[in-house]
Structure 1
Amino acid sequence: MTILDVGGTPAVWEIINFADQPDIQITLLNISEFKTSHTNITSVIGDARDLHQYADKQFDVVYSNSCIEHVGNIEDMKRMANEMRRVGKRYFLQTPNRNFPVEPHFVFPMFQFLPLAVQVFLVQHFSLGWIGKTPDREKAEKEVRSIQLISKKDVQMLFPDAKFGEEKFAGLTKSLLAYTV
């Protein structure tokens, strides 16, 4: 089996015991290289929006977990979605739900619905979730703008041929799934 993990790390494959399995070849594609000591995991530098180095249907599965919200605007997301669909025989995508009440990167209630100026102020003055305090205004704004959460409607538009699922927490949809079988 060949897997392209768009935006991933070796950790997920270690957890599910795919690391070092000789019949599974995993390619991690990121904007920076990940070191891996696993015999079946290769790390490459690339852009999820342009996978020209790969042939149509080259991978058995294209997998992406919490990456699409980091690639840019909706047009960038369309390019990523189209590339995932092109290079994979099947695909699986997970992304945080924009409408979940706690923003998962900043781990702050309703952060994604606050005005940009308020988001930037918060990042400048506090460490929030995975994001450290960033006093420089330009850097704080860049950090805030680097994450564009999407809704169920967006996922359905980006992956029209997919089946859809939802991950729930306390009865609310925390994450959205798009996949083919």
Structure 2
Amino acid sequence: MGVAQKVRRTLVEDPRSLGAGFRSRRWALVQELFPDLSSMDVVDLGGTVEAWERAPVRPARVTVLNLTEPGISRSDDIVPVLGDACDAGAALAAATGRTRFDLVFSNSVLEHLGGHANRARFAETVHALAPLHWVQTPYRYFPIEPHWLFPGMQFLPITARARVAERWPLSHSRSPDRERATSSALWTELISVTELRHYFPGSEVVHERFLGLTKSIIAVRR
């Protein structure tokens, strides 16, 4: 393992890392905000089976919808579905015959949907699927871009962002060439509190903080 990989593991991937601590506190917050989670029927838009298998909290049933790799479930209470989160109703109806749930859950997906129009479609889907929701996304104005761990990357021109995606050693997975680096950068758009409130009017906006700075924002209806 190279130096960069060791640094990234120390920061976000090791069980004792800062990232692991953030994830643990996030799950505690989910349980605090939704104390009846263990009895709920949940749909996770953009998640994975593996994430729920590792989670310290578990709904009565969770349907995991992912565009490419929802995963393989070894449990009857975790149901994987292949489908587009912006048009989840059709995929869920075809795969499970169900389009209503107690809670929509989504973690770090809103920033990868490909622009305002798709984020608006996603929000409409969230409102249609359940009366309650948790939609988390990294905050645009936190100084470190969380996917590449590069300071201020979200404010750079696309050419510079693509160069970072291709070359920056702390990336989760570096893009093998400029074309795919550009695509990866274009598909990652961090948003502000104003935008989140626009997509989820009437929802509470919860701030996750690090050293007093907002690290991510969550639209919550409970």
Q: TM-score, normalised by structure 1?
A: 0.90
- The amino acid that maps onto 1:89 is P
What is the percentage of aligned positions where both structures have the same residue?
35
Deviations 1:128-164 (A, max 9, x none): 33231x2421111001111111001100000002111
Matched, 1:15 2:55: yes
CA contact (8 A) 2:45 2:65 kept: yes
Specify the alignment match of 2:18 in structure 1: none
* Superimposed CA distance per residue, residues 6-33 of structure 1 (whole angstroms, 9 cap, x where no aligned partner): 1112324532241xx7xx1110000123
Deviations 1:65-118 (A, max 9, x none): 101111110110010011001111211111000000000001110010111111
Is 1:70–1:148's contact at 8 Å kept on the other side of the alignment? yes
Residues 144, 63 of structure 1: CA spacing in aligned structure 2 closer, same or farther, 3 A cutoff? same
Given candidates 170, 174, 177, the residue that maps to 2:211 is 170
> For the residues of structure 2 that align with 1:45 and 1:57, how far apart are their CA atoms?
14
Instruction: Find out whether 1:26 has 2:65 as its counterpart.
Output: no
Gaps of 5+ in 2: 1-39
Unaligned runs of 5+ in 1: none
Contact 2:89/2:99 (8 A) holds in 1: no
Aligned to 1:112: 154
Aligned residue runs from structure 1 range 21-100, under 5 A: 24-32=60-68, 33-53=70-90, 58-100=100-142
1:2 to 2:49 alignment: no
| Structure with bigger RCO (C-alpha 8 Å, 6+ apart) | 1
Looking at secondary structure, tell me which structure has more helix per residue: 2
For the aligned residues, what is the CA RMSD?
1.8
**CA-CA distance at 1:121 after TM superposition:** 1.6
CA distance in 2 between partners of 1:30 and 1:94 (Å)? 16
Match of 2:169 among 102, 123, 127: 127
> Match of 1:28, as an amino acid?
V
| Number of equivalent positions | 176
Name the CA distance, whole Å, in 1 between partners of 2:135 and 2:217: 8
Kept in 1: contact 2:89–2:129 (CA 8 A): no
Contact 1:69/1:95, CA 8 A, preserved across alignment = yes
Give, in angstroms, the shift of residue 52 of structure 1.
2.9
**1:99 to 1:144, Cα distance in 2 relative to 1, 3 A:** same
Higher strand proportion: 1
Structure 1 segments, 4+ long, off by >6 Å, are: none
Give 2:196's aligned amino acid: V
